[in-house]
């Protein structure tokens, strides 16, 4: 179930769907505990559905209007060529060793 579908529904319908989803989650957990559940990913799907429904209900409580807008083309999407960075001619000095081996080699 998609959030856009949920936003169109009335509060009563959302409440009913929330109750049925919670009941379904209860039954899935019971089946999982007994060992009768074949697809355990159903539990997470129902949990996500419950979260979506609760999110829409909370949005309405706070008066938040989520609108679906098409993404406008971003100006940074245009490829801007940057000059290549030159590699440093110097080689890096070897890092000092750390740990027990470094102490043994230093003491010799």
- Dump pLDDT digits (tens) for 13-33: 999 999 999 999 999 999 999
Contact by Cβ (8 Å): 30, 22: no
The verdict on residue 54 lying in a domain is: yes
Containing structural domain, residue 11: 3-62
The verdict on residue 90 lying in a domain is: no
The verdict on residue 50 lying in a domain is: yes
Return the CATH number at 33: 1.10.287.310
The verdict on residue 24 lying in a domain is: yes
Q: The pTM is what?
A: 0.59
- Of all residues in the chain, what percent carry a pLDDT higher than 70? 69
How many domains does one find in the chain? 1
Query: Of the spans 40-49, 56-65, 71-80, 95-104, which averages the highest pLDDT?
Result: 40-49
pLDDT at position 48 is 97
The verdict on residue 26 lying in a domain is: yes
Residue 92 has pLDDT above 90, yes or no: no
């Amino acid at each position: 179930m998609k959030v856009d579908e949920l936003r169109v529904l009335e509060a009563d319908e959302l409440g009913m769907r929330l109750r049925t989803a919670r009941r379904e989650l209860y039954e899935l957990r019971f089946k999982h505990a007994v060992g009768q559940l074949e697809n355990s990913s159903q539990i997470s799907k129902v949990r996500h559905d419950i979260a979506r429904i609760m999110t829409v209900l909370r949005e309405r409580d706070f008066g938040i209007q989520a609108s679906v807008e098409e993404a406008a083309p971003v100006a940074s999407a245009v490829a801007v060529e940057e000059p290549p960075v030159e590699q440093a001619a110097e080689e890096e000095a070897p890092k000092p060793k750390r740990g027990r081996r470094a102490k043994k080699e230093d003491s010799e």
